[in-house]
Structure 1
């Protein structure tokens, strides 16, 4: 069992960055289970190393959205406030084209991505509301969607927001 502080397991509003020791411990669990986190999620090794470098009590530079995925994969805990979906909606999401790692990832079309954004979408959340839940720039998030260049981490976060479990996105 990994020991992680309460504030590092909080939703975005009350979140404080985990320590480098907490990040290193969580990444170690993920690497034993799934392999290299950076390769799995399309994040450079140098970036991942920066998140875990420093004394164990140093604050990590890991962005909240990435930390949400790290915690999810390492512990199964969902720290972002997810949305309630009907079984029909969940089944519809599961039928969308998926990819089990960043290798070979192709961003969904804007049409598919926008099924998750807006008051009549699966999430019933605006782009700004989704971005706030993951501490993303809503402008950059919008540009990714419009340009059909949604990165793999953002897609995984959208799946998590909808309550899709890691076994669906990441093959063990």
Structure 2
């Protein structure tokens, strides 16, 4: 994953979030640990200790990467928004509180933006108004020019067309 967006959680804390179609976003274990101010191994310990509450596919996903020179495949865990919040139930510190608040705000912001997009998609595009778009100034300027026309019938016809929005066709 290399399409991450960086977010500032606090003055000295910037984390990277990976956009994801299924989960909206994911964060690596290292980024979540950094956010909570704990060691990666401590986070893994919470994952193991609370394995009955942290569900793969819901709170985290496991990604199998490239094979190294010894034939071992690298395995990485990425945390969903639900997992990031759920982890916060187990980590108690001022830094964890700050990160939980940030994660919660991010989740709510993303959800609100999705709701707004969905609401907009159900409304049809507004019809363009069918009216005379002449400004008052432009209309006065045109009428001044029309006043110079000697043919009274032609002058009245043009004035009528400029002022009235609905034109009746004459046979």
Asked if TM exceeds 0.5, the reply is no
| TM-score, structure 1 as length reference | 0.27
Q: Which has the higher Rg, Structure 1 or Structure 2?
A: 2
TM-score by length of structure 2 reads: 0.27
Kindly indicate which of the two structures has a greater share of residues assigned to strand.
2
Report which structure shows greater RCO (CA 8 Å, sep ≥6). 1
